[in-house]
Amino acid sequence: MKVIETALPGVLIIEPKVFGDHRGFFLESFQVERYREAGVDLPFVQDNHSRSERGVLRGLHLQHSRPQGKLVSVSRGVVYDVAVDIDPASPTCGQYVGVELSDDNHCQLWIPPGYAHGFCVMSDVADFQYKCTDFYYPDDETGLVWNDPDVSIPWPIATPRLSEKDQKLPTLRQLLNGEE
C-alpha cells in the first residue's frame, strides 16, 4: 500500500494495492502489521457503515473526552471527506485536509483521535465505512459547523442536506472558547 502524509500531523491518505482483472478486484482493506508500520497503531473497537444520498453532509463530528481515531473508506459512490485540526496547541489548528474517497480510487483516510471529521456525498448514493478506536458516546459528541468561515472548507456542494443536530454545531472559535 502507498501511504501519503498530509499537511495535518498524523492524518494519512492510504492507497491500498488493488488487484483487478476481468472478474473484478481484490484489496486488503486492513492488515494490522502493515497499518502499524504506517503509523496507524491504535486498536479498533467499533466498525460503522452509513449510506447517504447525493448532497448529504455529515459532520463535522468529534467526541470531547473519548476522541475516536477513524480509518474511513467508501465501498460505493463518491464522497468528499474532511478532517479538521481542532487542537488549540497545534500549529495547524483550524486547518483541514480534504480528499475524495470513492469506490473507484479505493483510498482510505486515517484520522487520528482529536480531529473533527465530516463528509459530503457527491454521487447518487454512497456507502461509507469507518473503523473507530473508541466507542461512540452520544453525550460526549459535539462538532464543528460545516461552513465555518474561519476554516473555509471548499465543499463541492453549496446547499447540503444536514441533520438538525449538524445545523446547530458551533464554529471553531466557539468550540475552542467552550461556547457550545
Q: What angle do CA 32, 36, 41 make, to 5 degrees?
A: 95
Catalytic residue among 106, 117, 130, 136: 130
Backbone angles phi and psi of 164, in degrees to 5: -60, -40
Burial classification of residue 89, based on how many CB atoms lie within 10 Å of its CB (0-12 exposed, 13-18 middle, 19 or more buried): exposed
Catalytic residue among 61, 80, 96, 117: 61
Backbone angles phi and psi of 48, in degrees to 5: -125, 155
CB contact set of 91 (below 8 Å; sequence gap of 6+): none
For residue 161, what is the DSSP state?
Answer: B
Q: How many CA atoms lie within 13 A of 82 on its CB side?
A: 28
Note if 61 is an active site residue: yes
Determine the Cα–Cα distance for residues 120 and 155; give it in Å rounded to an integer. 8
Determine the Cα–Cα distance for residues 161 and 116; give it in Å rounded to an integer. 19
Other CB atoms within a 10 A radius of the CB of residue 4 amount to 12
Residue positions annotated with a catalytic role: 61, 130
